Each structure stands twice: as C-alpha cells, then as structure tokens.
C-alpha cells in the first residue's frame, strides 16, 4: 500500500494539483486587488459597500457555470467565503445575532454571510432589531420557525412595532447533539438546553435519560457553556458549540425527527430587488365583522397567489384583537401581487409590508 501511495503516477497527479492550487491562490489575489479598486470607487462616490443583489448574481452565475464533477453546493459555500473575505477588504459586514457564540442562529449567520463578517452576539431577539435600527449592525439574523416546533412567537411580536424589513431567509438543517466535558453519559446528573431544542429531543431523553432533569438555558450555546464548567452537566447543542466550548460528544443527532429545519430571517433597513424566485411577507389586523378573514384572503385567491404561510397572534393592544402574518410567493414589484395587497388593505385595520426577498435554499448543518 505504501508503494502505491508514493508511486510515480500518484506523485505526478499530486504535482498537478499543487500547480492548480497555486493558480487558484494567484487568481484569488488578483480578485482581491480588483475588489479593493471597486471599494475605493464606492468610497469616493459615497456608495454602500455591500451589494446583496450583486452577491446573489455571482453565486447564481458560478453555480450555473459549473458543468463538471465539482458539487454545486460545495462551490456555493466556497464562493460565499470568497465573497465574505472580499467584503472584509472593503469593510466587514456587521451582523447581529442571538448569542452567545455557538447558537444555531450564529451558525445560520455564518452560512449566509461567511466567516469573515463581524458577528455581534446579543442576548435578546428584540436587541437584534435595535442594533440594526441604530445602525450598530448592517444586518440581523433572527429565528422565525422550526419545522417541528412551529413559529417563534416573540420574533413575530417584535415586527409589530418595528420598521425594519426582511431581506433574506435562511433554512438551516438543525442537528442536536448531547455534549459534556468527557463524553461519559454515566456522569450526567442534569441536562441543559434551550426549551425548543430539548422539546425536539424529548423521545431520546425519555428513552436514555429518563430520571435526569432537563433544565432550561437561554440558548443552546449557553447550555454548552454551562456544561463546560460542570462535569456533571450535559448540553444539547450544535457541533459548532462543541468546538467552541471544547466539549465531547456523548451522542450525535439525538433529535426525534431527523428532517428538522429552522427558518431564520435576515433583517435590514431595506429589502432586495426582484429576483424571479421571491417570497413576500405581510402583517395585518382585521376589522371586526363577519367574513373579514375570508374577504382578506379572497383577492389572493382571485389573483392565483400562493399563500405559503399564515399565522395569527394576539395584538396585545386590545382584548381579542389579532395580528395576522402571511407569507406568499412573489415580489412586491410584481403587478398582480401588489394590486392584490392594495385590495386587501380595504378590509384591514392596518397592513404592513415586511419585505420581499429571495426564497431560501435548504442548507445542511
């Protein structure tokens, strides 16, 4: 086997790979030089340094041009990092997320913006909105719903009094792991996690740790931090948290449903232009009269607009008054969709357009 590893054929191919790698590095350096020139032009003209429309066009173009054996999903990840590093040469993006480091929100943010962004962990979902509104962050990333546990109600509540827009969505496959300092399940006396994460692992916990209390933490990352300081504690958290807090795996993928995705929203001060594969989100409250909800939904039906989600929440302003949140396929720039929303307004106490943005691709953890 050793002779094969060092055979002339393999050595010759390895040298060819080295030459290709050198050329990739040379081209990346050349690309960085062009990026810095663009950055200077933008600064001189007072233009924003981040252009999400251009970024998306790059990713679509390079994946469409990939005709060979290299996996397109991997190519997209690579170019996401190239773009992120290039932006850092101009000015790193500031992204607020629900911290601390190692949460699934943190992981989703990295998947969307790349590892070269400047990530700002905050302790509350509302604080993410506040950071973007105050321009301490360019973007924020908040959880909105899980495929198994449903909507994150508090995120919806914050949108009621906020003028920020949804600029993108990130769909992340969520995999939960049981972690501890030494990876020994026999030493576990208590388990910490965010309530939503522990709920997604209920069957596994009842089967393997039926007598062990499961305690709430403000986030899965905070649970990992607790476990790192307590040899009798375990945490349900991500692989990223395991690396950040130097924890060992007791068991991987303990979630009850393996098809487990969480949807995150990227919030910003504006929403992007139409791409042709978009989603629009609105919120509205109804007049108190018979058939009010039917009258609101009818224009979408007549216009053949697909409502992909509708959710209601108490308004918290008056008893028995509800706020509705709806997602639909299409962009506010689409004439049919815009006219349907205008017709809907006549049957609402108020209606707010939360944003139109590209439909997210499912991303594995």
Please indicate whether residue 324 is annotated as part of the active site.
no
Q: What are the DSSP calls for 234-248, one per residue?
A: EEEE-HHHHHHTT-E
Least confident of 1-10, 251-260, 261-270, 356-365: 1-10
Task: Label residues 37-54 b or e (16+ Cβ within 10 Å = b).
Answer: ebbeebeeeeeeebebee
Domain with CATH 3.30.70.260 in the chain: 271-363
Q: pLDDT, tens digit, for every residue of 41-79? A: 888 888 887 888 888 889 989 989 988 889 888 898 899
How confident is the model over 109-118, as a mean pLDDT? 92
Q: What is the mean pLDDT of residues 167-192?
A: 94
Residues 6+ apart with CB under 8 A from 108: 97, 141, 170, 172, 262, 264
Answer yes or no: is pLDDT of 3 > 70: no
- Number of Cβ atoms within 10 Å of the Cβ of 364: 9
Does domain 94-174 match CATH 3.40.190.10? yes
For CATH 3.40.190.10, the residue range(s) in the chain are 94-174, 177-251
Q: What would the DSSP string read from start to end of 29-82?
A: HHHHHHHHHHHHHHHHHT--S--HHHHHHHHHHHHHH--SSS-HHHHHHHHHHH
Query: Do β-strands 139-146 and 94-98 pair in parallel, antiparallel, or remain unpaired?
Result: parallel
Residue 119's DSSP bridge partners are 95
pLDDT at 146: 81
pLDDT at 160 over 80: yes
Q: What is the pLDDT of residue 298?
A: 92
264 is catalytic: yes
In this model, does residue 364 exceed pLDDT 60? no
Q: Is the pLDDT of residue 287 over 80?
A: no
Q: Which two tokens stand for residue 89?
A: 């040469």
Helices (H) and strands (E) in the chain, counts: 13, 16
Q: How far, in Å, are 43, 128, 267 from residue 50 at the CA level?
A: 12, 19, 15
Sole residue written with tokens 């020139």 = 37
Using CA atoms, how far apart are residues 14 and 11, in angstroms rounded to an integer? 5
Spatial separation of the C-alpha atoms in residues 75 and 139, rounded to whole Å:
24
The CATH code for residues 271-363 is 3.30.70.260
| pLDDT band at residue 327 under the 50/70/90 scheme | very high
- Helix ranges (DSSP H) in 114-209: 125-133, 153-160, 195-199, 202-208
What does the DSSP 8-state code read for residue 91? -
CATH 1.20.59.10 fits 14-90, yes or no: yes
User: Which position has the higher pLDDT, 100 or 165?
Assistant: 165
Of the candidates 155, 220, 262, 280, the residue annotated as catalytic is 262
- Where in the chain is CATH 1.20.59.10? 14-90
Q: At what angle do helices 104-113 and 72-90 cross, to 10 degrees?
A: 80
- The answer on pLDDT for 362 being more than 80 is no
Out of 79, 104, 113, 264, which one is annotated catalytic?
264
Query: Which band of pLDDT confidence, cut at 50, 70 and 90, is reported for residue 365?
Result: very low
CA–CA separation, 151 vs 143, rounded Å? 9
177-251 fold: D-Maltodextrin-Binding Protein; domain 2 (3.40.190)
User: What's the pTM value of the predicted model, to 2 decimals?
Assistant: 0.82
Q: How far is CA 287 from CA 121, 345, 347, in A?
A: 40, 11, 7
């Amino acid at each position: 086997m050793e002779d094969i590893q060092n055979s002339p054929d393999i050595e010759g191919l390895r040298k060819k790979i080295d030459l290709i790698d050198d050329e990739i590095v040379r081209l990346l350096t050349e690309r960085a030089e062009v990026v810095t020139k663009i950055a200077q032009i933008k600064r001189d003209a007072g233009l924003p340094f981040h252009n999400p429309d251009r970024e998306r066009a790059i990713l679509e173009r390079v994946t469409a041009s990939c005709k060979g054996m290299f996996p397109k999903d991997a190519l997209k990840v690579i170019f996401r990092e190239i773009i992120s590093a290039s932006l850092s040469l101009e000015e790193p993006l500031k992204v607020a997320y629900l911290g601390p480091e190692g949460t699934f929100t943190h992981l989703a943010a990295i998947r969307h913006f790349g590892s070269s962004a400047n990530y700002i962990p905050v302790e509350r979902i509302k604080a993410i909105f506040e950071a973007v509104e105050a321009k301490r962050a360019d973007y924020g990333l908040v959880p909105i719903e899980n495929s198994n546990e449903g909507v994150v109600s508090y995120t919806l509540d914050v949108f009621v009094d906020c003028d920020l827009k949804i600029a993108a969505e990130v769909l992340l496959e969520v995999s939960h792991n049981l972690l501890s300092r030494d990876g020994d399940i026999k030493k576990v006396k208590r388990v910490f996690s965010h309530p939503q994460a522990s709920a997604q692992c209920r069957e596994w916990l009842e089967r393997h740790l039926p007598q062990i209390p499961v305690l709430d933490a403000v986030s899965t990352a905070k649970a990992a931090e607790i476990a790192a300081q307590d040899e009798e504690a375990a945490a349900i958290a991500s692989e990223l948290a395991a690396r950040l807090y130097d924890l060992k795996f007791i068991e991987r993928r303990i979630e009850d449903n393996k098809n487990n995705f969480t949807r995150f929203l990227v919030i910003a001060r504006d929403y992007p232009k139409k791409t042709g594969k978009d989603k629009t989100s609105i919120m509205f409250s109804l007049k108190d009269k018979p058939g009010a909800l039917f009258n609101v939904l009818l224009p979408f039906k007549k216009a053949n607009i697909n409502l992909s989600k509708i959710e209601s929440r108490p308004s918290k302003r008056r008893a028995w008054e509800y706020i509705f949140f709806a997602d639909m396929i299409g962009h506010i720039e689409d004439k049919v969709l815009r006219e349907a929303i205008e017709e809907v307004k006549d049957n609402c106490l108020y209606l707010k357009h939360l944003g139109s943005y590209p439909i997210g691709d499912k991303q594995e953890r």
